[in-house]
Amino acid sequence: MRLIPFKKYTDFLCVKPDSSKGKKDTGRFWWLAALLAFSIGVWYLYWRITATFNTEDNLARWISITVYSAEVYGFLAFIFFFLQVRKGPDRIPPIIETYPAVDVFVTIYNESVDVLYRTIVCCQAMEYPEDKKKVYILDDGNRKDVKDLAERLNCAYLSRPTHEFAKAGNINYGLAHSSGEIIAIFDCDHIPVRTFLTETAGYFKDPDVAIVQTPHYFYNPDSFQRNLRLEKELSNEQDLFFRVIEPGRDYYNSSFFAGSSGLFRRKALTEIGGIQTITITEDLHTSMVLHARGYKSVYVPHILAAGLAPESFEGYLKQRKRWTRGGLQVFLLDNPLIKRGLTFWQRIQYFGAVYYFLHGIPRLIYLSAPLSFLLFGYAPLRTGLGELLTHFLPYYIASLIAFHRVSKRLRNPFWSDVYETAMSFSITATAFATFLNPGNKKFHVTPKGLHKAASKFNLHLVYPHIILSGLLMTGIGTGFYDLFSDRQVSPDAFRISIFWGIYNIILLIAAISTASERREVRISPRLKRMIPGDILFDNTKIPFITSDISDSGISIMLSGPQITIPLFVKIDLHGDNGERVSLTGMVMRNDSVRQGEMVAVGIHFMKVSEENRQAIIRMMFSSPDTWSSPPEASAGVYLSFLTIVISPLRLFLHEKVLHRFYPRIKKEIPCEIVRNGTVSKGVIKDISYTGVRAKIYGVLSLENDIILRIYHSNKRPLSIEGRIAWIKKAKGDTLAGVHFMEHNSDLLELLKG
């Protein structure tokens, strides 16, 4: 068995070089495409208002006006989008001549301590003079386990006695109890690379710079990618903003702090009274107030930190409702169009940002408009199908081309419609509530670091979508009935409404499918990483490069015939900064792939020390090249539409099952799981050298460290350290898979017996 040649290995992993190098710049002259789309759009809207309104009575007139207003909103949103698109300034990190003191704030409320652990380890690993950097955990949950973690990782811990103004108040409390010249802020799930500070702090050499922001990048799939099983076809929903819009805003000195992975100048924050608290989008509002004071912002277009996207559809909706309420609060309470101190272009940029949050209302109009004819006989527009296509298709195609020129393939055609459809009901209700009560500052934290033990369909999140889908199907059926009966039906209005209704049903079904949550099979994140290392056993040394890694194990690909690797091996890993880790590993699988040309080996780390766990986390997240070539979606127009149509069918696909290297023997043996002093009784269903499948009485949760007690024969119970790898509910009880974390010779006797 030998090490796979690098080229063959990267081909296998589908690791591609930066596709932007050596290629023609597809974004050149985008403004010509945008100008063409704008001109055709004006022509289309003029035709719509002068030739297509249904004026048979007042109700018909109001239906036409409502649909037309939604189209006008979309046209203005198109304009605001392209006004935010420019090539940002070329940024080369300035050389730091004198290092300013930096306070690193990591905020947490009720999120997982394991998520926080990874962030703190990598914050401590950031390259910067130790006497000029201090890491703080700002705990707004007053949790003992968070305080204990701060002591363990040697960082400062702050927890305020009161909790007003949510995250903004938490940061302001940190400002009052620290003294660094520069404040770097991270959410508890955003993990920086080790060069984060050296690539950002130098911009504060300019005394007018108050904000430095880096992109948000997410190392896990978002709820659309995950639940629809489209990780390879879709980019993350936020990539368009951070890789297209924020660089364009930087051109106009209006890029804003995005809540995490950014830095502030303390002096500037002090001048405006700290992080702003009159809205719940403190990041956007604070940035606008600083710009109004004449300060500059810098957007660094390099991914220097990575975080967790909301793992659940419910978390996604909570996040978007919070952004909607906060954005509209900025519009209502501190409107950028009339705020003193902002430049003309800053007003446009900030107004465009808050204008976006109204998109739920026109989306609902689009979704329900076909019903006006199909159920009630009122055509929302009166025109022939051919004439409509003559005017609409040029406008649509020109807009599509213009968008494609600037989107860098980060947003597939049609998927914006799906995103807006999925959140339309939630954010429309939030928008109306905000207009009625703009002072509501209730802050909902986006859940992160969730472990879903079982698949789940969140019906309560999409029942409005289901009802509207049913109405559209009913309307289409009614329309066909009327067409083939003796009733008089306008053929053109029928065709338009049928095609429109079918497209809306496709969007609604895709949105409904997103509420079907996939179960989470891993406790720790597993990332694709090429880290060199060696397997050591019986005077044998096998070099490898990892294909993926987590803080609990690795997967590797070896070329050549499959050989028997012992159950327990030594593993050496070599980090890119000279750091080395030696571990004991247990082989979990050893599968032949590609007709025996390669062998896929999965190895689980055993009894990882605190020092080694931190080293592994640094290898996973801290390298400056960690996120240098983020994946991009590649689906074009037709494939994108096809993907939307068939995406609900993917819900019926079975999860891939890995082959087992060690057989499981069916045995029913009484057992107990001991975790944090709590004992849960149960019975083992099957067992192998590497673990067991057990039925545990009652409810169980995923745990990293447990003790499994096995009561076999009349002997003293066998106790083995392990971790719960997966759980599944079973009529009030829990089925659990337990991986052993140590080798116990008594297992041999148990398995033979």
Between the ranges 102-106, 619-623, 688-692, where is the mean pLDDT highest? 102-106
pLDDT-above-90 percentage for the chain: 58
Report the pLDDT averaged over residues 278-304: 96
Distance CA 24, CA 185 (A): 37
Range in 177-181, 273-277, 379-383, 639-643 the model is least confident about:
639-643
Tokens found for residue 379? 């055509």
Answer with the residue of higher pLDDT: 284 or 714: 284
Report the pLDDT averaged over residues 149-174: 95
In a domain, 719, yes or no: yes
Report the pLDDT averaged over residues 334-356: 96
Give tens-digit pLDDT for 354-385. Answer: 999 999 999 999 999 999 999 998 999 999 98
Task: Let me know whether 608 and 546 are in one domain.
Answer: yes
Give 296's strand partners: 209
Distance CA 717, CA 707 (A): 12
Report the pLDDT averaged over residues 309-329: 92
Report the pLDDT averaged over residues 609-624: 94
Distance CA 624, CA 628 (A): 8
Residue 715 has pLDDT above 60, yes or no: yes
Instruction: Give Cβ neighbours of residue 272 (< 8 Å, ≥ 6 apart).
Output: 286, 289, 290, 293
In a domain, 3, yes or no: no
Give tens-digit pLDDT for 12-71. Answer: 444 443 433 434 444 457 788 889 999 999 999 999 999 999 998 999 999 999 999 999
In a domain, 225, yes or no: no
Catalytic-labelled residue, pool 103, 139, 140, 250: 140
DSSP for residue 47: H
Distance CA 6, CA 601 (A): 18
Catalytic-labelled residue, pool 103, 189, 283, 548: 283
Task: Let me know whether 609 and 675 are in one domain.
Answer: no
Instruction: Give Cβ neighbours of residue 656 (< 8 Å, ≥ 6 apart).
Output: none
Distance CA 507, CA 519 (A): 24
Please identify, among 621, 648, 682, the residue that sits at the C-terminal boundary of a domain. 621
Residue 75 has pLDDT above 90, yes or no: yes
Give tens-digit pLDDT for 439-494. Answer: 887 777 776 655 555 567 888 999 999 999 999 999 999 888 877 776 667 888 88
Residue 587 has pLDDT above 90, yes or no: no
Instruction: Give Cβ neighbours of residue 726 (< 8 Å, ≥ 6 apart).
Output: 453, 521, 702, 736, 737
Write the CATH number for 585: 2.40.10.220
Residue 639 has pLDDT above 80, yes or no: no
Assess whether 140 carries a catalytic annotation.
yes
Q: Do the beta carbons of residue 363 and residue 420 sit within 8 Å?
A: yes
Strand boundaries in 169-328, DSSP class E: 182-187, 191-192, 209-213, 262-265, 296-299, 305-306
Task: Let me know whether 609 and 549 are in one domain.
Answer: yes
pLDDT of residue 663: 60
Report the pLDDT averaged over residues 187-195: 96
For residue 323, the tally of other CB atoms under 10 A from its CB is 21
In a domain, 699, yes or no: yes
Handedness of CA 477, 478, 481, 483 (dihedral sign): negative
pLDDT of residue 13: 42
Q: Do the beta carbons of residue 573 and residue 538 sit within 8 Å?
A: no
For residue 27, the tally of other CB atoms under 10 A from its CB is 17
Please identify, among 562, 588, 621, the residue that sits at the C-terminal boundary of a domain. 621
Distance CA 528, CA 15 (A): 9
pLDDT of residue 14: 42
Task: Let me know whether 611 and 681 are in one domain.
Answer: no
pLDDT of residue 636: 63
Report the pLDDT averaged over residues 104-130: 95
Residue 211 has pLDDT above 70, yes or no: yes
In a domain, 519, yes or no: no
Give 709's strand partners: 672, 719
Q: Do the beta carbons of residue 517 and residue 452 sit within 8 Å?
A: yes
pLDDT confidence tier of residue 637, bands split at 50, 70 and 90 = low
Q: Do the beta carbons of residue 600 and residue 593 sit within 8 Å?
A: yes
In a domain, 405, yes or no: no
Residue whose C-alpha is closest to residue 630's, from 346, 353, 304: 304
Task: Let me know whether 540 and 611 are in one domain.
Answer: yes
**What's the pTM value of the predicted model, to 2 decimals?**
0.84
Q: Do the beta carbons of residue 739 and residue 691 sit within 8 Å?
A: yes
pLDDT of residue 26: 44
In a domain, 689, yes or no: yes
pLDDT of residue 562: 61
How many residues are there in the chain? 753
pLDDT confidence tier of residue 616, bands split at 50, 70 and 90 = very high
Distance CA 18, CA 631 (A): 9
Q: How many domains does the chain have?
A: 2
Q: Which domain holds residue 543?
A: 530-621
Residue 518 has pLDDT above 60, yes or no: yes
Answer with the residue of higher pLDDT: 663 or 197: 197
Distance CA 617, CA 320 (A): 30
Range in 16-25, 60-69, 271-280, 674-683 the model is least confident about:
16-25
Please identify, among 621, 647, 673, the residue that sits at the C-terminal boundary of a domain. 621
Report the pLDDT averaged over residues 327-355: 96
Distance CA 192, CA 621 (A): 7
Distance CA 277, CA 282 (A): 6
**HSE-CB for 707 with a 13 A CA cutoff:** 11
Residue whose C-alpha is closest to residue 418's, from 367, 358, 353: 367
Mean of per-residue pLDDT scores for the chain:
87
Residue 576 has pLDDT above 80, yes or no: yes
pLDDT of residue 196: 97
Task: Let me know whether 558 and 614 are in one domain.
Answer: yes
Tokens found for residue 13? 């992993």
pLDDT of residue 591: 75
Report the pLDDT averaged over residues 94-107: 95
107 by DSSP, 3-state: which? strand
- The structure tokens 């272009």 sit at 345
Distance CA 256, CA 291 (A): 9
Tokens found for residue 736? 């659990």
Residue 733 has pLDDT above 70, yes or no: yes
Q: Which amino acid is at 129?
A: P
Residue 318 has pLDDT above 80, yes or no: yes
Distance CA 605, CA 583 (A): 7
DSSP for residue 243: I
Tokens found for residue 185? 């802020």
pLDDT of residue 9: 44
Q: Do the beta carbons of residue 229 and residue 323 sit within 8 Å?
A: no
In a domain, 87, yes or no: no
